[in-house]
Structure 1
Amino acid sequence: MSYLRFRFRHKQTIATILAERKEDYERVVGAIIRARREIEETIANDPLFLTTLEPYECDGKIVGRMCFASKLANVGPMAAVAGVIAQYAVEEASKHTSFVVVDNGGDIAMRTNKRLVVGVYPSDIGLVIEPCDEIVAVCTSSGKIGHSISFGFADAATVIGNDACIADAFATALGNSIKEDYGKKEVEDALEEFWKKAKRYVSGAIVVKDDIIGVVGNVPEIVRANICPDLITKG
């Protein structure tokens, strides 16, 4: 069965959603709105949750996961905001379908019964995602594009795992570690250091910087991909 492609925008959330049925898309949208509502209520009651760049303590179905991820990756909880929304939406939709993809501004959670190629932007590489009953997360932080805070200079710091909330936080941490003057050896060293902390929680990671591609852990097959700009989720 083929799939449908939807674009959804709600406040700061801009997502591309792939689903086989419109009702699965509607389930994703409902989950996104519920997740955002909890995050917005937390920010209204505790503004530091929004601005801190350090690990943070909080409770809640959604924000609790963000704070847990922030402690694992040593970043602020908002580093996991796009990932947790995508993850929760796919978890909810997966109760009714074996195919759903949520790309929330480059932080992707999916459950797929089809072979997919996920582009790593901005680059010309893609990751081959095979059919899988588990949720697969592909989350990317960039020091070159996008609205998210990054203190690094990677074109793309991509983390692969089974939880987009955790992968998103670790992608931010990895991206922050890539400095402007880093060459191949420094990128490899940064990945090795990153992996010491991250390997218990994610599957693997990729750094793209200029013409350098560094890989650590277990990552999907890497292929060259012609990424169509019209398919990129962006605001």
Structure 2
Amino acid sequence: MYKRYRFRHKETVVTVLLDDDSFYGVVVEAILTARRAVESMIKRDPLFQITLEPYDCEGFIVGRMCQASKVAGVGPMASVAGVIAQHAVERAVEEGAEFVVVDNGGDIAMYLDRPVRVGLFTYNHKLCFEIDEQGFYAVCTSSGTIGHSISFGFADACTIFAKDACIADAFATALCNEIKEDFERKEIEETLRSFWRRAKEHVLGAVVVKNNVVGFVGNVPKVVKGVVNTDLITRTRRLGL
């Protein structure tokens, strides 16, 4: 049975699941290391923080963000929560962890040796996905109606399933940006098909929730009956670093 931890540093609010608490310090240090790398980049190049377009940069953390921005067609900060979570999981695995989940404000990186369930909560829907995978896995969500993240779309939730949370975070933003205010079922289906043609080499699947419409594309985990406990949601006042 795993243990649950909560960690907060500045705007980063994280829930960590581990079955061995000796890795908790590794996770925290990795989160702080990733944050410092992004903060340093912003000081050197303020445009990195505000651009909404793909960007060129180098570095272990920020370089991954810029690569994600290029493949997804968004700004590098669209992947900041995901890259922090992903780096923390990877560092724990390097130290020997066999099960670790890092939920950074709803962008989740995991390394799994057992099935887990992830809840997706919107105003109209509560979905529970059973993830029966081994190794690295990521679930990242962007919303145009819930939370404080920058979005040009109007979806209640666009959730991406992938092997890397940095990539998943960027594509979640990209997909959400495409869901316009007047979209109904037909437009959402067309958008998902178009999105999948360019994203399928990078992600496993996607879900869009808007009002009473729920759309799926790709390899999405099985939806199961379960209770989505909103008390477990990792909340923060604003997304970003």
Scaled by the length of structure 1, what TM-score is found?
0.97
Aligned counterparts, 1:61-210, within 5 A: 61-95=60-94, 96-122=96-122, 123-132=125-134, 134-210=135-211
Q: CA deviation at 1:211?
A: 1.1
- Give the whole-Å Cα distance in 2 for the aligned partners of 1:86 and 1:153: 25
Is the CA contact 1:159–1:204 (under 8 Å) kept in the aligned structure 2? yes
Is the CA contact 1:205–1:215 (under 8 Å) kept in the aligned structure 2? yes
- Which position in structure 2 is the counterpart of 1:15? 14
Query: What residue identity is the alignment partner of 2:27?
Result: V
Describe the superposition over 1:171-215 as per-residue Cα deviations: whole angstroms up to 9, x where unpaired: 000001001111111111010111111000001100011111101
- Give the whole-Å Cα distance in 2 for the aligned partners of 1:49 and 1:12: 18
Q: Which runs of 4+ in 1 moved over 3 A?
A: none
Q: RCO (CA 8 Å, sep 6+): is it higher in 1 or 2?
A: 2
- Give the whole-Å Cα distance in 2 for the aligned partners of 1:56 and 1:201: 18
SS in 2 for 1:94: helix
- Give the whole-Å Cα distance in 2 for the aligned partners of 1:25 and 1:155: 33
Q: CA deviation at 1:224?
A: 4.0
Q: CA deviation at 1:115?
A: 1.5
Is the CA contact 1:35–1:62 (under 8 Å) kept in the aligned structure 2? yes
Describe the superposition over 1:157-184 as per-residue Cα deviations: whole angstroms up to 9, x where unpaired: 0000101000100000000100111111
Describe the superposition over 1:22-77 as per-residue Cα deviations: whole angstroms up to 9, x where unpaired: 22121110100000000000001100000000000000000000000000010000
- Give the whole-Å Cα distance in 2 for the aligned partners of 1:126 and 1:150: 24
Q: CA deviation at 1:144?
A: 1.2
- 5+ residue gaps, structure 1: none
- Give the whole-Å Cα distance in 1 for the aligned partners of 2:133 and 2:195: 28
SS in 2 for 1:179: coil
Query: What residue identity is the alignment partner of 2:183?
Result: Y
Scaled by the length of structure 2, what TM-score is found?
0.94
Query: What residue identity is the alignment partner of 1:127?
Result: F
- Which position in structure 1 is the counterpart of 2:239? none
- Give the whole-Å Cα distance in 2 for the aligned partners of 1:142 and 1:198: 18
Which range moved further: 168-177 or 118-127? 118-127
- 5+ residue gaps, structure 2: 237-241
Is the CA contact 1:124–1:224 (under 8 Å) kept in the aligned structure 2? no
- Give the whole-Å Cα distance in 2 for the aligned partners of 1:225 and 1:71: 37
- Give the whole-Å Cα distance in 2 for the aligned partners of 1:167 and 1:17: 19
- Give the whole-Å Cα distance in 1 for the aligned partners of 2:114 and 2:166: 23
- Give the whole-Å Cα distance in 1 for the aligned partners of 2:61 and 2:151: 23
Q: How many residues align?
A: 233
CA RMSD for the aligned pairs? 0.9
Q: CA deviation at 1:94?
A: 1.2
